[in-house]
Structure 1
Amino acid sequence: MLTLRGTRTALRALELEDLEALYEIENNEALWFVGETLAPYSKFVLKEYLANAHKDIFEMRQLRLAICDVTSGAFLGLIDLFDFDPHNLRAGVGVVIATETEKRKGYASEAIALLKKYAKTHLHMHQLYANIGDENKASIALFEKAGFELVGIKKEWRRRRDLTTGEESFTNELLYQHIL
């Protein structure tokens, strides 16, 4: 059985055809606080990124894969290994499902399971971690279901601005860890 293919989802390298979906995700202001983005990305910059996204995880210290429907091949979202540390054999995990209509259907859960298997089998990693805002109940449930354990709380770690009111606040960030 292929490591990057499950019963409902498959993980694959990013392609130029993913430009529009990537543009929508990267420029969604509601997601900026998660990745600490402060400005929108142009399509030109994202095309350049896609042209170099195939580089080795050991060189780039990150790996971003498209989550796709295993039957239709339709793009569903992204899953990342970031902050890859080849000496300590660990990396952070991030996942986003592109549209509200595709969320809460099990795609992210299966993508995390596939990524865990790939990280252990092909990258020989020892552990993965996830940083999750304490208000993000859906992600907390997702990662706990995937076997990640809460190991720490970073108090008032992220500054957040409400897009409607403009009010700013600080939120806690939870550190989840999974030993492979």
Structure 2
Amino acid sequence: MPDVRYVTQGTRAAIRRTTREDGAEFVRLARESAAFHRPWLTLPTTERAYLHYIGQLEREDREGFLVCVRETGDIAGFININNIVRGAFQCGSIGYGAFPPAAGQGYMSEGLGLVLRHAFGPLGLHRVEVNIQPGNKVSIGLVKRHGFRLEGFSPDFLYIEGAWRDHERWAMTSDMLDQRTGAG
């Protein structure tokens, strides 16, 4: 049964805002998927870490979404828009992750499409960026399928799992989404 709290929904996936009440479930999923995410990202695996995480998402320059299986409401993953800058820039940086066993089933791909339409629609952003470690072929495939363009390479870009990691910089602007969807 669909959750009435969904921001928007697609055929199989839906997105809703991440809340403090999601803490226990999110922490459980993060613990269960720690090896799956290594070395790509580190998630909050304690209640205290989750409180810090949700506190960051409650800032004005962030939007946090859970990607859910539309029919059941089960959490398939998360997508956050971080570091939103307004004014002449109108840009945000997207971070995401899937939780097994939903990984590889298309929920994150559909969820990313929903988040992009929300970012370029109601949020009014012009540009979104994604930074991905070069070895993360699954994540690179996801952004390529959505029409992101590779814009560069940043050595020692983010500190993850105890080391500074190189990242590729991928981006999309609102007109690129319009071209893909035939809108505009």
Q: TM-score range by the shorter chain?
A: 0.7 to 0.9
Alignment-derived partner of residue 10 in structure 2: 6
What is the CA distance between 1:24 and its match in structure 2? 3.7
In the alignment, is the contact (CA less than 8 A) between 1:91 and 1:129 conserved in 2?
yes
Cα distance between partner residues in 1 of 2:65 and 2:37: 18
**1:83 corresponds to:** 83
Aligned length: 166
What is the identity, as a one-letter code, of the residue corresponding to 1:90? C
Task: Kindly provide the amino acid, as one letter, of the partner of residue 27 in structure 2.
Answer: Y
Contact (CA 8 Å) 1:14, 1:53: kept in 2 or not? no
1:177 corresponding residue in structure 2: 171
Letter in 1 for 2:94: V
Q: In structure 1, what is the equivalent of residue 93 of structure 2?
A: 92
Give the structure 2 partner of residue 116 of structure 1.
Answer: 116
Distance in 1 of aligned mates of 2:91 and 2:76? 26
* 1:46 maps to 2:40: no
Residues 1:155 and 1:14: Cα distance change in structure 2 (over 3 Å): closer
1:86-165 superposed matches below 5 A: 86-87=86-87, 88-99=89-100, 101-158=101-158
What is the CA–CA distance in structure 2 between the aligned matches of 1:158 and 1:16, rounded to whole Å?
26
Q: Does the aligned pair in 2 maintain the 1:3–1:114 contact within 8 Å?
A: no
Partner deviation per Cα, 1:50-95 (whole Å, 9 max, x = no partner): 5x5784xxx5311111111111111111110001111211001111
Q: Which runs of 5+ in 1 are unaligned?
A: 162-167
* Cα separation, partners in 2 of 1:20 and 1:71, compared to 1, 3 Å: same
* Residues 1:117 and 1:95: Cα distance change in structure 2 (over 3 Å): same
CA shift for structure 1 position 46? 2.4
Moved more, 144-153 or 14-23: 14-23
The 1-side partners of 2:49 and 2:85 are apart by 26
Which runs of at least 4 in structure 1 moved beyond 6 Å after TM superposition?
A: none
Distance (whole Å) between structure 2 residues aligned to residue 117 and residue 159 of structure 1: 29
CA distance in 2, matches of 1:156, 1:75: 31
The two structures have a TM-score, normalised by structure 1, of: 0.77
Q: CA 1:179 to 1:31, structure 2 compared with 1: closer, same or farther past 3 Å?
A: same
Q: Please give the secondary structure, in 2, of the residue aligned with 1:78.
A: strand
Helix, strand or coil for the counterpart of 2:71? coil
Is the deviation greater in 7-16 or in 22-31?
A: 22-31
Equivalent position of 1:164 in the other structure: none
TM-score by length of 2: 0.76
